[in-house]
Amino acid sequence: MKEKIIKVNVNNLDEIYECDKIAKQASGAVMYRQGKAVLIAAVAIDEKEVDEDFLPLTVQYIEKAYAAAKIPGGFIKRETKPGDFETLTSRIIDRSLRPLFPEGFHYPVTITVTVVSSDSEVDMQVAALHAASAALYVSDIPVSRSIAAVRIGKIDGELTINPTLSQQDESTLDLLVVGQGSDVLMIEMRTMASEVIDDIEVDAIDPMMGAAPVILEHQESNELDEEALVEAIATAQGAIAKASNAYEEALKPAVREPRALILAEEKSDERLYQYIESNYAREVEAAISHMAKSERSSELKKVRTKIMEALEEAGEEVDKAVVSKVLERYKKHVVRSMILDKQVRADGRALDEVRPISIETNLLPSVHGSCLFTRGQTQVLVTATLGDKKDAQMFELITDKRAQSEHFMVHYNFPGYSVGEASFIGAPGRRELGHGNLAKRALEPAIPLGYDGTIRLVSEVLESNGSSSMATICGGSLALRSANVEMTDLVAGIAMGLVSDGERHAILSDIMGLEDHDGDMDFKIAGTSKGITALQMDIKLGGIDLALLKEALVQANRGKNHILALMEEAEKNIVESEALPSTEHFSVNPSKIGDIIGKAGATIRDIIEKFEVSIDLDRDAGGVKVSGEDKEKVAAAKEHIQKIAEAPVRKQMTYEVGKTYKGKVKKVVDFGVFVEMPDGFDALLHISKVAKERVNNLSERYQEGDEIDVVVMEQKGKKVELATPEFLA
């Protein structure tokens, strides 16, 4: 098998695919190169088909520390469990490639993407998507399409296709779109906050620095409206069509002969379908009307039992799997027909109607901020905890040489009892990490830039029937406000759905689990009253028309604003938590920071111990942050620090060498005595200059506060050396 080197230059990416070079025993493999980045993608298949009706696809994205010339940190010097970025990237690849497999493909497939060389300018998610897609496309698995990923940035107001990582730092938009041909399969989007400098100057008087012109700054969260988002997606759609066709054409010579696999046929029985439709339509509709997943499942099982008993009494053979499959198919038909024909949903709501919402804030007395957010049968308890900068989560990216700190964390937990399941609660899985990341991307643009501390939001899903991630955003926004975090605006989220038969379509607001399962699109959108901050979309239709997408965005905006209005009412009733720490931010002359710290940190340690506070100092800017549980002690510590900072600057005397001065013993140590001189500065009387004979224990001669005579031996700047008259006699 001869090695094939394929070069593709499209959408600002120079990519090299090396086929038939590595991992030749895999079903398909490529070595992918872009800049200095090198990724190995390999696909393997188990030819033993699973009995369940689903595609058992496993995607693993792995970053090796050696790829960035680093040794793993920590006690164990090898890679262990994947980091959050690796897990989220694996999830994105899975969601993008799953639609490419043919119907009835039930064979276990594993796609592994390994980063073996990194590049600080290469977008690893786009690279991993292309490497995985190429490995699958050239494999002997019957997948005949290739996807393309496009990241859209907005730099200086202009849309940019596939910006480098350094360019992404300057972008106010992060839009990742994956598709095939003209079909968009997956979308992930977020906006980034930025500081805007106004062209206004005012004369401000700084008591420390004097008068100076000040340029005013304010923060923008850079929300997108529907028009701007559709324009960005249209740009990505055109780039995807161009790229996916280029990849298919370039990689075609390396495609292996597909292996002979039998695709599972749908277990269906048209006669049985007609029998259920004629005799059990009312029972199925009644089962569907049960909103909770556990209740609905239970009612449908009862209907299935009735059908099987009736067929057995009629002397017919009954296959439980076939009955279950046909009943599920009929249930889906009923759900979709109610929506398309009657414009009514299973729970009786109108298509654009949001379920009833109730909000309770700061219900947990020992928590900084909390919110219980309930929408229909979805309920989350979100808590906010405020910490110092040192509480940030440290993490490393393969594209960065230095470790980074995450100062805003969103952790999402989904216990089994939330959907009525008896299951063990273990470590968070990919779904939990993905939902938490979506909530973080939605809320982060509204967090003040340069927030001086760390925030941790935790969402406990107590009940779930549709889009607990969007409830996490709503509850999280109010939990932040309950913890007195000054956000730029409240953020709400809503999950949208779509049902289409090719000719007609219906867009659904605030979908529940049943509509997510039986619909054609899962579309989550979050933002403020000004626009969109985050979006996630998975399309089951194979593609979506941009006019239809805009219609969905407009309807989503109405639903989002309805939820925001309820959240704003709840915000008015927030009562501050007694557990909330007190924090004072103020500035002093930067030259006074040394006085606040004191010699060897003695002064600042005394303040911390006396007032029971924590203190953060900015040496360059003169910023001071004092935090503590007791507001009175925090205020007292602030006053004490300000007195130190406002004290006049002392000038050191110039001493006459050989002259005797009266000093006070400040501190006795093993090697000498620190003496406070008449000007208030300290000087050292070394143990060797105390007496002519050897002195073993200075504490027997001197006590703190004693007044003693000392002779100045030498002065070099601030350093003064002393001796006793006894030593010089």
3-class DSSP string for 190-206:
EECCEEEEEEEEEEEEE
User: Can you say how many angstroms the Cα of residue 220 is from the centroid of all Cα atoms in its chain?
Assistant: 19
What pLDDT is recorded for position 384?
96
> How confident is the model over 307-342, as pLDDT tens digits?
888 888 888 877 787 888 888 888 888 888 889 988
Higher pLDDT, 631 or 637: 637
Band (pLDDT 50/70/90 cuts) for residue 718 is confident
Closest CA to 382 of 467, 471, 268: 471
Dist CA 556 CA 496 (whole Å): 7
Residues, the chain: 729
Q: What is the mean pLDDT of the segment spanning 379-399? A: 89
**Residue 26 per-residue DSSP state:** S
Of the CA atoms within 13 Å of residue 254, those in its CB half-sphere come to 28
Question: Judging by DSSP bridges, how do beta strands 109-117 and 57-63 pair with one another?
Answer: parallel
Tokens of 620: 């360059």
Cα Rg, the chain, nearest whole Å: 34
- Label residues 53-67 b or e (16+ Cβ within 10 Å = b): eebebebbbbbbbeb
> How confident is the model over 97-137, as pLDDT tens digits?
999 999 889 999 999 999 999 999 999 999 999 999 999 99
> How confident is the model over 547-564, as pLDDT tens digits?
888 899 999 999 999 999
What pLDDT is recorded for position 291?
57
Band (pLDDT 50/70/90 cuts) for residue 143 is very high
Q: What is the mean pLDDT of the segment spanning 616-636? A: 85
> How confident is the model over 676-713, as pLDDT tens digits?
888 777 888 998 888 888 888 888 889 888 999 999 98
Dist CA 386 CA 408 (whole Å): 10
What CATH number is given for 4-254 in this structure? 3.30.230.70
CB 335 within 8 A of CB 518: yes
Whether pLDDT at 208 is above 50: no
Whether pLDDT at 282 is above 50: yes
Asked if 4-254 and 660-728 have one fold, the answer is: no
Whether pLDDT at 651 is above 70: no
Tokens of 260: 């002979």
What pLDDT is recorded for position 236?
94
What pLDDT is recorded for position 103?
87
Q: What is the mean pLDDT of the segment spanning 214-226? A: 63
Band (pLDDT 50/70/90 cuts) for residue 293 is low
* Residue 186 burial class via C-beta count within 10 angstroms: exposed 0-12, middle 13-18, buried 19 and up: buried
> How confident is the model over 670-679, as pLDDT tens digits?
888 889 888 7
What pLDDT is recorded for position 311?
83
Residue type (1 letter), 549: L
> How confident is the model over 294-308, as pLDDT tens digits?
666 778 888 888 888
What pLDDT is recorded for position 220?
63
What pLDDT is recorded for position 356?
95
What pLDDT is recorded for position 649?
63
Whether pLDDT at 411 is above 70: yes
What pLDDT is recorded for position 1?
64
> How confident is the model over 451-476, as pLDDT tens digits?
878 999 999 999 998 889 999 999 99
Band (pLDDT 50/70/90 cuts) for residue 271 is confident
Higher pLDDT, 439 or 76: 439
Q: Is 322 helix (H, G, I), strand (E, B) or coil?
A: helix
Of the CA atoms within 13 Å of residue 104, those in its CB half-sphere come to 9
Q: Who's near 207: CB < 8 A, 6+ residues apart?
A: none
Homologous superfamily of 660-728: Nucleic acid-binding proteins (2.40.50.140)
Across the chain, what does the average pLDDT equal?
87
Domain assignments of the chain as residue spans, ordered by start: 4-254, 357-572, 582-646, 660-728
Q: What is the mean pLDDT of the segment spanning 360-375? A: 95
Higher pLDDT, 525 or 71: 525
Q: Which fold has domain 357-572?
A: Ribosomal Protein S5; domain 2 (3.30.230)
Dist CA 152 CA 175 (whole Å): 5
* Residue 76 burial class via C-beta count within 10 angstroms: exposed 0-12, middle 13-18, buried 19 and up: exposed
CATH of 582-646, one of 1.10.3720.10, 3.30.465.10, 3.20.20.120, 3.30.1370.10: 3.30.1370.10
What pLDDT is recorded for position 196?
53
Closest CA to 87 of 62, 105, 53, 109: 62
CB 246 within 8 A of CB 10: yes
Question: Which value, to the nearest 10 degrees, does the dihedral of the CA atoms of residues 412, 416, 417, 419 take?
Answer: 90
> How confident is the model over 508-567, as pLDDT tens digits?
999 988 888 888 888 899 999 999 999 999 887 666 778 888 899 999 999 999 999 999
Q: What is the mean pLDDT of the segment spanning 244-256? A: 94
Dist CA 523 CA 512 (whole Å): 12
Q: Is 380 helix (H, G, I), strand (E, B) or coil?
A: strand
Q: What is the mean pLDDT of the segment spanning 1-30? A: 93
User: Can you say how many angstroms the Cα of residue 275 is from the centroid of all Cα atoms in its chain?
Assistant: 50
Task: Quote the Cα angle for 548-549-552, to 5°.
Answer: 90
What pLDDT is recorded for position 210?
32
Band (pLDDT 50/70/90 cuts) for residue 206 is very low
Band (pLDDT 50/70/90 cuts) for residue 204 is very low
Evaluated on CA atoms 567, 568, 574, 579, the torsion sign reads positive
Closest CA to 442 of 405, 487, 406, 401: 487
